Amino acid sequence: MGSGIFITGTDTGVGKTIVAAGLALALKARGMKIGVMKPVATGCVGTDRQLISQDAVYLFEAGENEYPALTSPCRYRNALAPHVAAVLEKKEVDLNQIRRAYQELQKHYDYIIVEGIGGILVPIAKDYFVANLIKEFRLPVLIVARGGLGTINHTLLTVDAAVLRGFEICGIVFNRISAVNYSIAEITNPKVIHDLTNIPVLGSIPEMEDVDVETCRYGKLRDVFQERIQVDRILGSTSL
């Protein structure tokens, strides 16, 4: 089983793609050959014959990968949970295609970064959730969380769901932290969450104007990730 990490979030829109791309850039700078994957993406753009996931493109470019079809095997137009989008668009999620793509990526790269969709219990297909995919891939989990009010509850629920399923959680990264004028919640939440879960907090990423997924801008993401995130702790996680 190849090494890698599965990046999940406490909710949709927490910035999993930014964290996944930042990790890819940081590991590439160490000379590693990094494979990236967004197994199923919704809210894609383009024609029905050629849907494009902006998240997958952002990861693909960050990793400088050579196999776009493997990076994003299942794509949907509607910005919904995959199972719901699949029903509306009359196109069932092909779980075997996802499995084959992941296995093929393992042949070509030293380390695989897989970005989930939404949170750990988002349904990918009927009776098949993001959690099922994590279990199949047998990867440790990196949780991406918001820094502000409400994140204690969301993060604890995510940790609880992961622990109940026996997943290895390598740590928590807080994303989109205010660059100035931190809120009291942003200041206190990391320690509170660590104290309540005993899960390592591996750092935080501030709001960055020069970083944007839709326009594929990375700005200083690599440098910020290297400076503020404990990359060695992420690499120290092993496959289950």
How does strand 201-206 pair with strand 169-177? parallel
Burial code (b: 16+ CB inside 10 Å, e: under 16) for 12-21 equals: eebbbbbbbb
Exposed/middle/buried for 3, CB within 10 Å: 0-12, 13-18, 19+? middle
Catalytic residue among 38, 90, 107, 135: 38
Q: Say how many Å lie between the first and final Cα of the chain, rounded.
A: 9
Q: How far apart are CA 40 and CA 160, in angstroms?
A: 24
**Catalytic residue at 38?**
yes
Alpha helix ranges (H) inside the chain: 16-28, 54-63, 68-71, 82-88, 95-108, 130-137, 151-164, 184-197, 221-228, 231-235
Active site residues per annotation: 38
